Amino acid sequence: MIPFNKPSMIGNEADYINQAVSKGHHISGNGPFTKKCEHLLEAALGGGCRVLLTTSCTSALEMAALLLDLQEGDEVILPSFTFVSTANAFLLRGCVLKFADVDPDSMNISLAEVERLTTKETKVIVPVHYGGVSCDMDALKSFCAEREIYLVEDAAQALGSSYNGKPLGTFGELATFSFHETKNIICGEGGALVINDPKYFERAEIIREKGTNRSQFFRGQVDKYTWVDIGSSYVMSDMLAAYLFAQLENMDEINKLREEAFSYYVEQLRPLEEQGLIKLQKHLPKTNGNGHLFYLLTQSSEQQKDMLEYLNEQGVNAVFHYLPLHTSNRGVQFSNLCGALPITEKQSYQLVRLPMYHKISRDELDQVIQTIYQFYKGS
């Protein structure tokens, strides 16, 4: 069986965890490995931001919604084609969700959709860089700047990707990454909040520390450690940061191997696209990806079901996602606010994701590719 994902372990993870544990004095949050990871990430993002490690990307999104002081009834525009956390973070603050359709070539939110859904109540736009491929950030950034709307990037899948040479995660006032084991750079469960506007930094540290000024206290900046704001427990354990540090040190190499696998899929499956049997992802101008995931579009929802069944029978663990949020039990409440989202509704039922992980071998890739060719020969 070729798995869909294999969590990577590439070098010093165990050694660093051992260091974190054996020193024995700091295995909770905000310890030495946490700081090393934050510095590496800040450098990778070009140095103009602050990064805080969190327990997950979900937590980082919740922190973003808290930091922006969103109120009941504030409207948030986000794609329906995303993971539930993009929505939950804002729903927890009582926001109204406006689900946007996606561009057929990228499965990303488009400016036209943002324009369609924007009202006087719009406070935040949340672009999701699907598969690590950038949204149209020039357009979204200037749209938000003109209207004083916040931009929060859900860059969960996009660490190492860029737009116009600028790293994703540096466009919004705030941005979030995930280190869940299904992402490129991992530590089991984990995330990061990127703060691109310095005015949020002090409060972000407080919110991450359960609403206390603990971080300032330990730096000797205040003489009492006390409750000063709302917050929650969003700090990552230093044991997990130790694993993460080993991964971050090898980030370019990890992303490069995934991009090579991605290109090989494209090259080998191109003939099927030329015969009109599938559609492949287009390479979009100005975007530079990180090989996070590979998908193709089948011709119909029946073909998607048949292909998934065939691949899995033949030992290739292919999957699909997302079930559009505006059609889910929880999201349907907002569906009258967004209208039909035809591209999302169509393409999420045509999409098939193929196995993709660090060090997926040529033989494994060939087996996946051959199985897809066999599927079309038989059908």
Ligand X SMILES: *Cc1c(COP(=O)(O)O)cnc(C)c1O
The catalytic site residues sit at: 183
Question: Which among 80-88, 105-113, 132-140, 281-289 is the span making contact with ligand X, rule CB under 6 A?
Answer: 80-88
CA distance 70 to 213: 22
Instruction: Select 3 or 188, whichever has its Cβ closest to ligand X.
Output: 188
CA distance 126 to 173: 11
Please report whether residue 134 would count as binding ligand X according to CB under 6 A: no
Please report whether residue 348 would count as binding ligand X according to CB under 6 A: no
Please report whether residue 123 would count as binding ligand X according to CB under 6 A: no
Paired sense of beta strands 150-154 and 122-125, if any: parallel
Instruction: Select 178 or 213, whichever has its Cβ closest to ligand X.
Output: 178
Q: Which of 5, 8, 34, 82 binds ligand X (CB under 6 A)?
A: 82
Question: With CB under 6 A, what is the number of residues at the site for ligand X?
Answer: 14
Please report whether residue 295 would count as binding ligand X according to CB under 6 A: no
DSSP secondary structure of 301-313: HHHHHHHHHHHHH
Please report whether residue 153 would count as binding ligand X according to CB under 6 A: no
CA distances from 289 to 154, 156, 183, 298, 355 (A): 15, 13, 13, 22, 17
Q: Which of 5, 30, 80, 86 binds ligand X (CB under 6 A)?
A: 86
Please report whether residue 83 would count as binding ligand X according to CB under 6 A: yes
| DSSP bridge pairs for 134 | none
Instruction: Select 110 or 178, whichever has its Cβ closest to ligand X.
Output: 178
Measured from the CB of residue 190, what is the shortest distance to ligand X in angstroms? Answer: 7
Residues 209-238 close enough to bind ligand X by CB under 6 A: none
Measured from the CB of residue 241, what is the shortest distance to ligand X in angstroms? Answer: 14
Please report whether residue 290 would count as binding ligand X according to CB under 6 A: no
Paired sense of beta strands 166-167 and 122-125, if any: unpaired
Please report whether residue 58 would count as binding ligand X according to CB under 6 A: yes
Dihedral Cα 245, 246, 251, 256, nearest 10 deg: -170
CA distance 365 to 14: 29
Measured from the CB of residue 158, what is the shortest distance to ligand X in angstroms? Answer: 9
102 phi and psi angles, rounded to 5 deg: -115, 165
Please report whether residue 180 would count as binding ligand X according to CB under 6 A: yes
Please report whether residue 156 would count as binding ligand X according to CB under 6 A: yes
Question: Which among 83-91, 111-119, 297-305, 308-316 is the span making contact with ligand X, rule CB under 6 A?
Answer: 83-91
Give the SS3 label for residue 51: strand
Closest C-alpha to 375, from 323, 299, 320, 324: 299
Please report whether residue 150 would count as binding ligand X according to CB under 6 A: no
CA distance 183 to 132: 10
Element (H, E) at 150: strand 150-154
CA distance 60 to 236: 11
Please report whether residue 208 would count as binding ligand X according to CB under 6 A: no
Please report whether residue 161 would count as binding ligand X according to CB under 6 A: no
Neighbours of 323 (CB within 10 A): 14
Measured from the CB of residue 266, what is the shortest distance to ligand X in angstroms? Answer: 21
Please report whether residue 85 would count as binding ligand X according to CB under 6 A: yes
- Binding-site string for ligand X from residue 182 to residue 201, where x marks contact by CB under 6 A and - marks none: ---------x----------
Instruction: Select 57 or 278, whichever has its Cβ closest to ligand X.
Output: 57
Paired sense of beta strands 191-195 and 50-54, if any: antiparallel
* Interacting residue ranges for ligand X, rule: CB under 6 A: 56-58, 82-83, 85-86, 128, 154, 156-157, 178, 180, 191
